[in-house]
Amino acid sequence: FVPHLNICQVSPVIMLTVFVVVVALVSQTAARYTPDWTSLDARPLPSWYDEAKLGIFIHWGVFSVPGFGSEWFWWHWQGQQPPDQKYVNYMSQNYPPGFTYPEFARQFHAQFFNPDDWADIFKASGAKYVVLTAKHHEGFTNWESPNSWNWNSVDTGPHRDLVGDLAEAVRNRSLHYGLYNSLYEWFHPLYLIDKKNGFKTQEFVLQKLLPELYNMVVRYRPEVIWSDGDWEAPDTYWNSTEFLAWLYNDSPVKDTVVTNDRWGAGCACKHGGYYNCEDKYTPGQLPTHKWEKCTSVDTLSWGYRRNMKMNELLPLAAIIEDLVRTVAFGGNYLLNVGPTPDGMIPPLFEERLRGVGDWLEVNGQAIYSSKPWRVQSENTTVPVWYTSKGLTVYAILTAKPPMSTVKLLAPKTSSITQVFLVGNPTPLSWAPVNPGGGLVVLLPELPYTPAQAWTLGLDFVQ
């Protein structure tokens, strides 16, 4: 309701304010999304996500208790046909006959889980967002889902709201908080009925999945919804477009939430917010759409493994090189760790995360809020990855040059070009390679870093 006003009596400031409000209301109305991919795919990605660059992924659930093979333990043991003999033998050798997978939930105690300790580690890693498994394919929810009675972390196992406890700690450190959610559940009776019916019925979606998703979003307000477990059925079965239209139009996180591309068979790398495309996706050239690489410190599993070995973990230098490559190609990097069932992040994982943070503390200006440059990489002297921010181009060396010089052929210099080693304010001497471009930089003694990567800043180059 707008009262009748005499225009002659209204100040220009009030008129401007009313105009701005009206424009804002019209814009909001115009920005509503319809439940179809043409409309949903046109939604701009909230800016915080591209600026963040680095996130931490956490795979934690009942699968952490057997801690063997991977988070797909239950499926390999009792789902796939024939069962994987490695898992069958593990159970027969270590558990009594008749032991069922749900019994593992009673041993998921999380007694040492301190969300503040976790959040401190994530903050120290230099990550800007955190994504926790709210529910993996086993169907166990790490929160008190009203649609998962007695198969959740409050009714059994830890007897606490793991999603909520971590949310508070993460947000207290000014990090964005997201949740992973599997659309399908391997052994849910309603899902198996729908599957048997060729996904022409939607009992699981209407009675379990969607009510749970809406509840999760309203209760925890995640700024990332990392969807998975979509590939067995089309998006029309999952009602994905209807859910996303609500999420973008009317949910409590409609202005800040980002989603990935796993919303039904055929959606990956085609529909959704940013693209995952596939696990550990590594494009060979600059994609045209915002994307994210998810990868794990443990190269053999996303969940905790009790028998993991040192040589099966990514070295810090490999993580940094992977991060740098990903950012140079315009992507975000989501690095996974698998906590133990008693709630600890294994020390080797913590060491990797803190190592990433130490490197970013010096070199972060070349990563956060950066954009891909016109050239992404070259390998003239050593491997070099380029990013840019404002008038500065960053050349990140992912190996130590064999001599005290490095040749860069891609940048085009001018008489006012300046070069510096990030972390050292002293300008570096350089000489042009030829009139068309390129330069040779005289390097100082490069400081030791276990990450084996150093960054040069180049001002006033093209």
- pLDDT above 70 (res 58): yes
Residue that is last in its domain, among 350, 366, 382? 366
- Ranges 4-18, 111-125, 163-177: which has the least confidence: 4-18
Q: How far apart are CA 284 and CA 451, in angstroms?
A: 23
Residue that is last in its domain, among 336, 351, 366? 366
Q: Let me know if residue 29 belongs to a domain.
A: no
Q: What is the pLDDT of residues 335-394, one digit of tens each?
A: 999 999 999 999 999 999 999 999 999 999 999 999 999 999 999 999 999 999 999 999
Calculate mean pLDDT across residues 268-276. 97
> Do 162 and 126 reside in the same domain of the chain?
yes
pTM higher than 0.85, yes or no?
yes
Q: What is the pLDDT of residues 399-414, one digit of tens each?
A: 999 999 999 999 999 9
> Do 234 and 377 reside in the same domain of the chain?
no
Sign of CA dihedral 207, 209, 213, 216: positive
Q: What is the pLDDT of residues 152-177, one digit of tens each?
A: 999 999 999 999 999 999 999 999 99
> Do 354 and 395 reside in the same domain of the chain?
no
The pLDDT confidence band at residue 72, using thresholds 50, 70 and 90, is very high
Q: What is the pLDDT of residue 31?
A: 77
Q: What is the pLDDT of residue 25?
A: 42
Q: What is the pLDDT of residues 205-238, one digit of tens each?
A: 999 999 999 999 999 999 999 999 999 999 999 9
Q: What is the pLDDT of residue 425?
A: 85
Structural domain span for residue 375: 371-459
Q: How far apart are CA 438 and CA 380, in angstroms?
A: 11
Q: How many residues does the chain have?
A: 462
- pLDDT above 90 (res 111): yes
- pLDDT above 90 (res 182): yes
36-69: string of b/e by CB count within 10 Å (b at 16+)?
ebeebeebeebeebbebbbbbbbbbbbbbbbbbb
Amino acid at residue number 395: A
> Do 289 and 358 reside in the same domain of the chain?
yes
> Do 348 and 375 reside in the same domain of the chain?
no
What are the residue ranges of helices labelled H in 96-161? 115-124
Q: How far apart are CA 39 and CA 47, in angstroms?
A: 19
Q: Let me know if residue 97 belongs to a domain.
A: yes
> Do 55 and 201 reside in the same domain of the chain?
yes
The pLDDT confidence band at residue 326, using thresholds 50, 70 and 90, is very high
The closest of 457, 324, 307 to 399, measured between CA atoms, is 324
Tokens standing for residue 281: 């996706």
> Do 232 and 219 reside in the same domain of the chain?
yes
Judged by DSSP in three states, 168 sits in helix
The answer for residues whose C-beta is within 8 angstroms of residue 435's C-beta and 6 or more apart is none
Radius of gyration of the chain (CA): 25
**CB of 65 within 8 A of CB of 100?**
no
CB atoms within 10 A of CB 218: 11
What percent of the chain shows pLDDT beyond 70? 94
- Ranges 82-86, 124-128, 304-308, 432-436: which has the least confidence: 432-436
User: The CATH number of the domain where 180 resides is what?
Assistant: 3.20.20.80
Q: What is the pLDDT of residue 4?
A: 36
Calculate mean pLDDT across residues 317-336. 98
User: The CATH number of the domain where 387 resides is what?
Assistant: 2.60.40.1180
Q: Let me know if residue 27 belongs to a domain.
A: no
Backbone angles phi, psi at 287, to 5 degrees: -70, 160
Q: What is the pLDDT of residue 10?
A: 40
DSSP notation for 372-391: EEEEEEE-SSS-EEEEEETT
Sign of CA dihedral 38, 44, 46, 51: positive
Backbone angles phi, psi at 362, to 5 degrees: -90, -45
CB atoms within 10 A of CB 262: 26
Q: What is the pLDDT of residue 147?
A: 96
> Do 350 and 394 reside in the same domain of the chain?
no
Q: Let me know if residue 7 belongs to a domain.
A: no
How many domains is the chain built from? 2
Residue that is last in its domain, among 366, 394, 426? 366
Backbone angles phi, psi at 197, to 5 degrees: -85, 15
Judged by DSSP in three states, 426 sits in strand
**CB of 451 within 8 A of CB of 416?**
no
Q: Let me know if residue 344 belongs to a domain.
A: yes
Q: Let me know if residue 2 belongs to a domain.
A: no
The pLDDT confidence band at residue 249, using thresholds 50, 70 and 90, is very high
The pLDDT confidence band at residue 315, using thresholds 50, 70 and 90, is very high
Sign of CA dihedral 153, 154, 158, 161: positive
> Do 199 and 272 reside in the same domain of the chain?
yes
> Do 318 and 356 reside in the same domain of the chain?
yes
Q: Let me know if residue 85 belongs to a domain.
A: yes
- pLDDT above 60 (res 24): no
Q: Let me know if residue 5 belongs to a domain.
A: no
Q: How far apart are CA 451 and CA 74, in angstroms?
A: 37
Q: What is the pLDDT of residue 435?
A: 84
Q: How far apart are CA 306 and CA 104, in angstroms?
A: 15
> Do 292 and 389 reside in the same domain of the chain?
no
Give 16 or 113, the one with higher predicted confidence: 113
Cα distances from 6 to residues 11, 21, 284, in angstroms, run: 10, 19, 64
DSSP notation for 253-320: TTTT-EE-S-SSTT-TTTSSSSB--STT---SS--SS-EEEEEESBTT-SS--TT--GGGBPPHHHHH
Q: What is the pLDDT of residue 436?
A: 79
Q: What is the pLDDT of residues 83-104, one digit of tens each?
A: 999 999 999 999 999 999 999 9
> Do 300 and 174 reside in the same domain of the chain?
yes
